[in-house]
Amino acid sequence: MKKIPIIMDCDPGHDDAIAIILACASDKIDVRGITTVGGNQTIEKTTNNALRVLRFIDKDIPVAKGANNPIRRELEIAESVHGDSGLDGPELPQPTQEALEISAFELMAQIIEKSDEKITLVPTGPLTNIAIFLLAYPHLKSKIERISLMGGAAIGGNWTAAAEFNILVDPEAADIVFKSGIPITMAGLDVTHKAKVYPEDIAKIKRQGGKVAVLVAELLEFFIRFHRDICGWDFAPLHDPCAIAWLINPDMFTSKKLNVMIDTDGEHTTGCTVTDFYGNNKQEANVDVLLDVDRFQFIDMLIEAVNKYN
């Protein structure tokens, strides 16, 4: 079966870590490289976390560090959600591999240039690295198959009333990406808030028994804490794995092709992914917006993935 070659750009982060585990377990995905960005935590911490996860799952995938700061704003981190390390909760040994000396953008360019097939980019953090790559290597845009991203929301936000964290951290970068003309799948809050993981799902994952199953369960046990204590929810919305799960099985999702534009300077709406459900703006529908997911299939996919490591 032909695999989908991808580069993940992430800010681990509990859900980013699970997205890496899901991608590396899938026989439909070929993770050619992982780049890191400041977001949930600083670039040093998100890079260290990506390396720690790869050591734990024993995967030798090149990792390169990208931008710490957004294009023109100060970095805002999500320590309240992911903790001081960015991956608080489980005990994860320190990495044995180092990040490459080259930058995230250079690694992206190297992988894309030498690939015989187009590459899919899977950003699950702020879009700073993707935007910088597109600006620095415009000639490589034609070798990008698609961008399957976690970010935004057709309706609402989770960091302000109108904006989701990844887009809000670097709205200028998001604007560049959403105007790039590259096919985009947006796994925004509309779908990720339906990718609900309940305590009973966590228990079921833990009961699978392997060390990766236990790690994923412990990541979720920490991740649900913020959503229970601050949001008052009895579930954790598993955001980032949706961007990978769609690549593995798009039929699990419901989507609509809509025009999405980024607000970069609204008094109350900066970082909003303005989604034109009714075509009022008469603009091209540039994004496949994910709106729903079969939650049971999603949980089954996670369980199948953790068992692949046994």
Active-site annotation, residues: 239
Binding mask 105-144 for ligand RIB (x = CB under 6 A): -------------------xx-------------------
46 binds, among ligand RIB, Ca ion, none (CB under 5 to 8 A by kind): none
Distinct helix (H) and strand (E) counts, the chain: 12, 11
Judged by CB under 6 A, does residue 175 bind ligand RIB? no
Judged by CB under 6 A, does residue 13 bind ligand RIB? yes
- Write out the binding residues for Ca ion, residues 64-123 only, by CB under 5 A: none
Strand bridging mode 63-65 / 29-36: parallel
Judged by CB under 6 A, does residue 11 bind ligand RIB? yes
Q: Identify any residues that bridge with 237 across adjacent strands, giving them in sequence order.
A: 196
- Write out the binding residues for ligand RIB, residues 138-167 only, by CB under 6 A: 150, 158, 164-166
Judged by CB under 6 A, does residue 15 bind ligand RIB? yes
Contacts by 262-269, CB closer than 8 A, 24 or more apart: 262/167, 262/171, 262/174, 262/175, 262/178, 263/162, 263/171, 264/171, 264/172, 264/175, 266/162, 268/160, 268/161, 268/162, 269/162, 269/163
Judged by CB under 6 A, does residue 221 bind ligand RIB? no
Residue count, binding to ligand RIB (CB under 6 A): 16
For the bound state, the minimum distance from the C-beta of residue 174 to Ca ion, rounded and expressed in Å, comes to 14
Alpha-carbon span 89 to 150, nearest angstrom: 23
Burial of 141-156, coded b for 16+ CB within 10 Å and e otherwise, reads eebbebbbbbbbbbee
Stretch that binds ligand RIB, among 10-18, 50-58, 113-121, 244-252 (CB under 6 A): 10-18
Where on the chain is the footprint of Ca ion (CB under 5 A)?
11, 13, 16, 124-125, 240
